[in-house]
């Protein structure tokens, strides 16, 4: 479940927040302890497998006359996952 609440900027001004940062509440007692995750600290997403295949397989195969790169890619995935062509 996700709930969005508005907090006055004065309450968190000293945290030097930037767009994309996130706060995670660790403890609620007499004081609230939060963990600040900077958007720059987030891991970079790994490239998609299909994109990786296109980068590594580029130029290593020969296309038949009239065959497109999309045809070759679909043939590769059909063989890999046992799909009908």
Encode pLDDT of 3-61 as tens digits.
778 888 888 888 888 888 888 889 888 888 888 888 765 566 666 677 777 767 666 67
Chain segment 73-82, per-residue pLDDT in tens: 888 888 888 8
Q: For residues 40-61, b (16+ Cβ closer than 10 Å) or e, as one string?
A: eeeeeeeeeeeeeeeeeeeeee
User: What are the residue ranges spanned by the domains of the chain?
Assistant: 9-41, 49-81
27 Cβ partners below 8 Å, 6+ apart? 33
Distances (CA, A) of 7 to 11, 28, 31, 38: 7, 16, 15, 18
> Is residue 72 predicted with pLDDT exceeding 80?
yes
15 three-class SS: helix
What's the pLDDT at 40? 67
Query: Does pTM surpass 0.75?
Result: no
CA–CA gap between residue 23 and residue 37 (Å, rounded): 6
């Amino acid at each position: 479940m996700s709930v969005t609440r508005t907090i006055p900027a004065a309450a968190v001004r000293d945290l030097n927040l930037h767009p994309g940062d996130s706060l995670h509440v660790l403890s609620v007692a007499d004081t609230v302890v939060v963990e600040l995750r900077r958007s720059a600290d987030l891991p970079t997403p790994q490239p998609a497998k299909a994109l990786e295949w296109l980068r590594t397989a580029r130029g290593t195969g020969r296309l038949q006359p009239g065959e497109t790169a999309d045809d070759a890619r679909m043939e590769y995935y059909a063989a890999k996952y046992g799909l009908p062509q």
